[in-house]
């Protein structure tokens, strides 16, 4: 049996297993957030481009087990994109092993069970590199391959801005080659760089309208603020996501590619394409943050290099087998957290629904819901979407009003917003003609804070805040949930 058929058989079985596991899972807060974004369309969101929300909403109103099946399907697509790329750069046998190795990584297996941007972005990024390599090695008609590479990279960047770093990497690879400084390649390279920029234009204009706060995530000063005490913890997370042996082997492979970067074209291609990804991964680790997505993008090329290195060593197959077996063990242990992410939220939402109906029957008309944070608001709103119909453009469950702009809820309409009125609401304050339609209404506040820790933005905005009940912890978290009745909203004092 050929290596390609072995890969098809193995990944086919894995995909069936993942489909079954997705059917057994509950929706996680992150998936509920993407579903909510799909229902409130925008060119981009605070957390990234609009691609993931588009994928979450493109299937339409279907059961959870249907729209969430795209997660294992994107894992399948990413596997064969990696196979096609490595087969073109190397050979079919190595390509099959790279596909199997990719499916052994814990981070890949986690993403294969939850809807998110990582695997779709990885798929299109690998296709972009495949088409760029075809353009790089083509003797004629390279322009079509450059165009295809640009479109694929644009699709990837519409899922994750970070993929855009591959554009200057490929451009540098091309410009450093004397053979590719001809007019046809320069024009093709311009097409390759222009197409993703045009595809990202709506998201960029949206970020510009928000003063670049969502995309920047900080100031210029934060670029050189490092968290050295947090570096070991960040590296430990990378090792857990890729397994220690594979992580160290990929770094060693990249260092060897650095030493041989003036060698064969395939080695130069690997080095230039993975250079910014590995550097950014280590940079974010120095900041105490996760850079795993960058390493995931680089992993097919780095795994290929590891296989090339071990094949020329005694007991190379044994080394590879131990690495992949260790990765599978880490993947299996990591599945517990994936499953627990959705546990208990449906029951918690049911308890909130019961409290809502009870207080509404007690005379609390116009009752609305507030959650302590964005993830809690997303997952509760998802499970209550058939019970509560919010105003157009509003989320089902609000997040407490605040001046902090750290997520999309800060940009969506909220209960603290004023709407225009034909005449001033207050005859002594004629400058303001707006009114707040939530004023005088009551709310249920659901959070992880006990009664003595209810935030001031809730206590100061309502006439009274009364504890109602506690709920078991959900989503694998330690803290229980608490429900409070907040009576007579008056807006926060200035």
The mean pLDDT value for 386-411 works out to 88
pLDDT in tens, 255-298: 888 887 777 888 888 889 999 999 999 999 999 888 999 999 99
Q: How confident is the model at residue 97 (pLDDT cuts 50, 70, 90)?
A: very high
For residue 408, the surrounding DSSP H or E stretch is none
- Per-residue pLDDT of 194-230, as tens digits, reads 999 999 999 999 999 888 878 776 666 677 788 888 9
Q: How far apart are CA 255 and CA 357, in angstroms?
A: 62
CA–CA distance, 174 with 247 (Å, rounded to integer)? 28
For the stretch 310-322, pLDDT in tens is 877 777 788 888 9
pLDDT band (50, 70, 90) for residue 72: very high
Please give the Cα distance from 305 to 311 (Å, whole number).
10
**Mean pLDDT score of the chain:** 88
**Which segments of 74-203 are extended strands (E)?**
none
State the pLDDT confidence band at 428, using cuts at 50, 70 and 90.
very low
Secondary structure class of 484 (helix, strand, coil): strand
For the chain, percent of residues with pLDDT exceeding 90: 57
Note the Cα 178 to chain centre separation in Å.
38
Q: What is the mean pLDDT of residues 91-96?
A: 90
pTM, full prediction: 0.93
In the predicted model, is pLDDT for residue 133 greater than 70?
yes
Residues pairing with 311 in the sheet: none
Q: Which residues have a Cβ under 8 Å from the Cβ of 431 and sit 6 or more positions away?
A: 424
Indicate the pLDDT class of residue 299, thresholds 50, 70 and 90.
Answer: very high
Q: What number is the average pLDDT over the span 122-150?
A: 91
Instruction: Evaluate if residue 430 carries a pLDDT over 60.
Output: no
- Rounded CA separation 119/112 (Å): 7
**Residue 49 main-chain phi, psi, to 5 deg:** -65, 175
In the numeric block, the tokens 């992993």 are attached to 299
Domains in the chain: boundaries: 345-489
Per-residue pLDDT at 139: 73
Average pLDDT over residues 463-484: 92
Of 370 and 91, more confident: 370
Residue 180 pLDDT greater than 90, yes or no:
no
- Where does the pLDDT of residue 422 fall: very low under 50, low under 70, confident under 90, or very high at 90 and above? low
Give the pLDDT score at 429: 47
């Amino acid at each position: 049996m050929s290596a390609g058929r072995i890969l098809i058989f193995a990944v086919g079985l894995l995909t069936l297993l993942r489909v079954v596991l997705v059917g057994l899972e509950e929706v996680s807060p992150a998936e509920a957030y993407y579903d909510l974004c799909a229902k409130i369309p925008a060119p981009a969101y605070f957390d990234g481009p609009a691609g993931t929300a588009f994928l979450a909403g493109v299937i339409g109103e279907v059961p959870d087990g249907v729209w969430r099946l795209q997660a294992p399907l994107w894992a399948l697509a990413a596997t064969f994109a990696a196979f096609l790329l490595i087969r073109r750069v190397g050979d079919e046998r190595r390509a099959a092993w790279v596909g199997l190795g990719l499916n052994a990584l814990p981070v890949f297996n986690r993403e294969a069970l939850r809807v998110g941007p990582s695997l779709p972005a990885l798929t299109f990024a690998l296709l972009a590199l495949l088409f760029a390599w075809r353009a790089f090695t083509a003797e004629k008609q390279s322009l079509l391959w450059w165009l295809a590479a640009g479109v694929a990279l644009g699709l990837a960047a519409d899922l994750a801005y970070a993929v855009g770093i591959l554009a200057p990497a490929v451009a540098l690879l091309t410009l450093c080659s004397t053979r590719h400084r001809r007019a046809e390649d320069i024009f093709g390279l311009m097409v390759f760089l222009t197409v993703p920029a045009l595809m990202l234009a709506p998201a960029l204009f949206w970020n510009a309208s928000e003063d670049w706060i969502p995309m920047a995530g900080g100031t210029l000063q934060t670029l050189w603020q490092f968290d050295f005490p947090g570096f070991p913890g960040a590296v430990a997370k990378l090792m857990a996501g890729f397994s220690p042996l594979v992580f160290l082997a990929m770094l060693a492979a990249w260092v060897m590619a650095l030493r041989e970067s003036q060698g064969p074209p395939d080695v130069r291609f690997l080095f230039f394409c993975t250079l910014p990804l590995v550097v950014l991964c280590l940079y974010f680790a120095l900041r105490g943050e996760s850079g795993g997505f960058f390493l995931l993008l680089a992993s097919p090329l780095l795994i290929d290099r590891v296989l090339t290195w071990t094949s020329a060593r005694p007991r190379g197959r044994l080394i590879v087998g131990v690495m992949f077996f260790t990765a599978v063990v880490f993947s299996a242990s990591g599945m517990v957290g994936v499953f627990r992410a959705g546990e208990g939220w449906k029951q918690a939402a049911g308890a909130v629904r019961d409290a809502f109906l009870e207080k509404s029957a007690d005379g609390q008309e116009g009752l609305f819901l507030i959650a302590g944070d964005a993830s809690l608001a997303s997952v509760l709103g998802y499970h209550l979407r058939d019970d509560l119909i919010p105003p157009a453009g509003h989320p089902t469950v609000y997040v407490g009003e605040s001046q902090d702009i750290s997520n999309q809820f800060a940009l969506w309409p909220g209960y603290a917003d004023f709407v225009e009125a034909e005449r001033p609401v207050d005859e002594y304050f004629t400058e303001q003609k707006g009114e707040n339609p939530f004023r005088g209404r009551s709310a249920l506040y659901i959070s992880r804070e006990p009664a003595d820790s209810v935030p001031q933005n809730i206590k100061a905005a309502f006439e009274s805040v009364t504890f109602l009940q506690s709920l078991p912890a959900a989503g694998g978290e330690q803290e229980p949930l608490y429900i409070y009745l907040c009576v007579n909203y008056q807006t926060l004092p200035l």
